[in-house]
Amino acid sequence: MSLQANDFELFDVPVQYAQDRAQLDTRWKGLQREAHPDRFAAEGAAAQRVAMQWSVRINEAYQRLKDPLKRAAYLCELQGAPVQAENNTAMPAAFLMQQMEWRESLDETDSAQGLEALAGVVSAEQRRVQQELARLLDQAKDPAQAVGQVRALMFIERFTQEVNAKLDRLT
């Protein structure tokens, strides 16, 4: 195995959005056991440095593969459609309207019950976007279309953090 292998090759899992989290966790633990620097203590400092590089590479891949947003962005990039969220903020008008409505609701809601209801609506949309990403990436094989859904999921995750932070302040 090469340090340059993509994350899916490294973890020996299919190159697709849908992943089995338990399988990823098991594979991560196994790879970490194989690459742990302590296993190479008798082989000297150079071997331990290489093992440390492997350990870091395995952890980076695991962080990308276990997170639906990072995994989707990574798949888009691997398939020639980088997300470029910093440079491309174009979103469909309907999604922009939805964002504004959510933002108004967040600003106007001062009760835990209201915030929990908003969180439920946002969570449902998050699941819908993740299902659409699975369809676009795994079935339609359309990473260019998936890029817009990745950007939508980025907003949803940031907004969820804001809702949760406000909820934490109230409770």
Please tell me which residue, 2 or 141, carries the higher pLDDT value: 141
pLDDT at residue 27 is higher than 80: yes
pTM for the whole structure: 0.91
Q: What is the pLDDT of residue 57?
A: 96
Q: What pLDDT does residue 52 have? A: 92
- pLDDT tier for residue 106 given thresholds of 50, 70 and 90: very high
First to last CA, the chain: 49
What would the mean pLDDT of 130-157 be, rounded to a whole number? 97
pLDDT at 132: 98
